Amino acid sequence: MPYVNIQITQGATRAQKQALVKDVTASLAKHLGKKPEYTHVVIQEIADENWGFAGQLTDDWKRDQS
C-alpha cells in the first residue's frame, strides 16, 4: 500500500492538486506496478510563514523577490 506525502506551500488550485494525485498514482502504477486502488496520496499545504529555506521564511523570501 503506497503512501505518498507531498508538502507544498499554499496556493495550488483544486484542479492542480487533482492532476498531481492522478499523475503520482499513475507513475507508481507504471514504474513500480502498484495498484491505484491501494495508493494513498496526501497533500499538505504549508503556510508561507511556516516554511523556510536559504535562511529565510518563504513569505519573507517572496516579499524580497518583488
Task: State pLDDT tens for residues 3-52.
Answer: 999 999 999 999 999 999 999 999 999 999 999 999 999 999 999 999 99
CB of 20 within 8 A of CB of 6?
yes
pLDDT at 66 over 90: no
pLDDT per residue as tens digits for the range 38-56: 999 999 999 999 999 889 9
What's the confidence (pLDDT) of residue 36? Answer: 98
Q: pTM here?
A: 0.85
Measured CA to CA, the distance from residue 21 to residue 65 in angstroms comes to 30
Right CATH number for 3-65 from 3.20.20.70, 3.90.1640.10, 3.30.429.10, 3.40.50.1820?
3.30.429.10
Q: Which residues of 26-44 are buried (b: 16+ CB within 10 A; e: fewer)?
A: eebeeeeeeeeeebebebe
Report the catalytic residues: 2
Strand partners, 45: 8
